[in-house]
Amino acid sequence: MRIGLLTEGGYPYASGGSHAWCDRLVRGLTGHDFEVYALSTQARQEAGERPALPDHVRLVRGAPLWGDFPTEHLRGADERRGRAPGRRERRRFAEHFGDLVTAFVTAPSGDRPSHSEGTPENSLTSKADRFASGLYGLAERAREHGGLPALLRSEDAVRTLEAACHGPRALPAVHGAQVNDLLAVAAQLELALRPLSLDWYGDRDTPGLDGVDLCHATSGGAAALPGLLAKRFFGTPLLVTECGVRLREHYLARAAAPLSAPVRALLAAFQGALAAETYAQAALITPGNTHVRRWQEHCGADRARLRTVYPGMDAAPFAAVADAPADDSKALVWVGAVEPAKDLVGLLHAFAEVRRAEPEATLRIIGGVGRDPQASGYLAQCRALAAQLFPDEAADARTVGENPVSFEEIGSPEVPSPADAYASGAVVVLSSVIEGFPRSLVEAMFCGRATVSTDAGAVCEVIGGTGLVVPPRNPRALAEACRALLGDPDRRARLGAAARARALELFTVEQNIAAFRGIYLELISRTPARPADHRALDAQGAPQPFARPAESHVPGRWAATTTAKADAPAGRTPSWAVPEGKRSAGVPVMSET
């Protein structure tokens, strides 16, 4: 089958966890053809060298979610696209954009209830229906006439936003929106809705999502928009996978950005409405853990269409790591990206308490600077705190002192690889206050190391009783757990062995690929024929199973001859049935009858 893989800011351009997961998925499912539709979020992603892709990736198409809309990504030839939109087209745009904006700017009808009272279901449904009407109305308009990016940044769009924000039922946070706020929101909406105007949906000149059997969005947000349109236009089933919650990431990013309160409120409301529509239209949603699943349920996802699939990780690089030594090793190891959410300040204070009971204990902090804008300053703060808490210690007046806390990076001579980092410690510590799926914790489990973690994100679900878990922002509890394991080698060995067995059972690449192989077949079996194809419907208008021959999926001339086969008169052999080398020789062939 042909899979349309929809990505944002990752595969096949950028490196990172999302890229690695997509790459392992594509390389593991060699029985399917993949077409990658990638949205880049930064200029450097498209400018970078794209890695070599396997042969069954038949097509890669990209488009930017930054800068001006490039004309080469507009849909196929349309003589009206070169001129300014007429009055009728602008009126139609204003109608659809008004529905979209009104749906996410206004509060539900009636009094705004408290959380304990709940929200009237009919008003939520009405808002969702209006949002969908506006979204797909804009998509149809872009499909027919083009020019949508310019209209989204036009004065008409700003006036529509202004009217909605100053309406009687507008959200309280947007009442004070000024012209500068509305201009900023219009610009952000044009970027977020850019997939509506792309030439990814098939025309006479270029292939697109009209030919795929399944759309697989690797996140919510903008990446899922092409899948929503493919379902709307062609009836293609949509699978949505979220290893982290895209909506939550949006909230955190906007909170850290220098934006006014009305802009934050408007963009958050739009992203929330888009997430709800995505979850409503997806045939299946696969959260990466229960923490993500709870977010999706809170945003309206149907429990019946939720199925947890843990992200697969490659266990091979950690297979050679020996079991933790059953001795009195006192080395603690922390591995990850240094940023405020990891709470290394709390870890350093906890280690100060550990040192009082275990004077021989050491702490190795291994990792580079994270993507958080405050990460560099936070690393400097942690270094200064370590120097203050633990002055360099010397055995005598002639010996150079050493600090029991070291800051290192993977790739250095002391720590060539992640496996070496985990192997160097007796206990691996995770001290985060905010965490999604803790990849470093899984890697430590692959290495058979006992762990001490804070209860953040999916930590409890991942560790499953094979390590110690303490409340976040509690250095005393973290210190007590570390002391308990440092003083009990046998317990460390038992927990490490159990952790390795659990990780190999649940979190490997093989289990992830096997899960998606079954999901792909399951979703296709529910959609045996395309409703948009008149030959795939019976007399009552119901889909006919297997109405499209298998060879119609084969690229090249076979796909073009499928229609000829279906329309060939009975008793006559169509030209496609005669081998090319024998047609001119008049070789007799058997009739289809």
Q: Give the span between the Cα atoms of 99 and 137, in whole angstroms.
A: 9
Give pLDDT, residue 528. Answer: 60
Structural domains in the chain plus CATH codes: 2-75+86-105+119-305 (no CATH), 316-507 (3.40.50.2000), 549-593 (no CATH)
Give pLDDT, residue 549. Answer: 53
For residue 26, count other CB atoms closer than 10 A to its CB: 21
Q: For residue 204, is it left (φ>0), alpha (ψ between -120 and 50) or beta?
A: alpha
Give pLDDT, residue 320. Answer: 87
Q: And the tokens for 417? A: 């690889």
User: If you search the block for the tokens 């498209």, which residue do you land on?
Assistant: 46
Say how many residues make up the chain. 593
User: If you search the block for the tokens 């409503």, which residue do you land on?
Assistant: 280
Residues 398-420 as b or e (16 or more Cβ within 10 Å = b): eeeeebbbebbebeeeebeebbe
Give pLDDT, residue 539. Answer: 63
DSSP 116: T
DSSP 532: T
Paired sense of beta strands 57-64 and 2-8, if any: unpaired
Residues 304-314 as b or e (16 or more Cβ within 10 Å = b): eebeebbbbbe
Sequence-distant (6+) residues with CB within 8 A of 282 are: 224, 227, 238, 239, 240, 301, 305
Give pLDDT, residue 322. Answer: 81
* Average pLDDT of adjacent 10-residue blocks, the chain of 593 residues: 91 75 93 93 73 90 87 54 70 93 82 43 74 95 86 93 91 91 94 92 76 94 95 94 86 83 94 94 95 90 95 91 75 95 96 94 93 90 94 64 89 92 95 92 96 95 95 97 94 95 95 96 80 53 55 51 47 42 41 37
Question: Cα 433–315–48 angle (5° rounding)?
Answer: 75
Query: Please, which residues bridge with residue 214 across strands?
Result: 3
Give pLDDT, residue 176. Answer: 87
Query: Please, which residues bridge with residue 452 across strands?
Result: 429, 468
Query: Please, which residues bridge with residue 450 across strands?
Result: 427
Tens-digit pLDDT profile for residues 55-85: 999 999 989 998 888 776 665 444 444 556 7
Enumerate long-range contacts of 342-346, CB under 8 Å, 24 or more apart. Answer: 342/370, 342/431, 342/432, 342/433, 343/431, 343/432, 343/433, 343/454, 343/472, 343/473, 344/378, 344/382, 344/431, 345/381, 345/382, 345/385, 346/431, 346/433, 346/473, 346/474, 346/475, 346/478
Give pLDDT, residue 527. Answer: 77
Give pLDDT, residue 122. Answer: 60
Q: Is-cis flag, bond preceding 531, omega within 30?
A: no
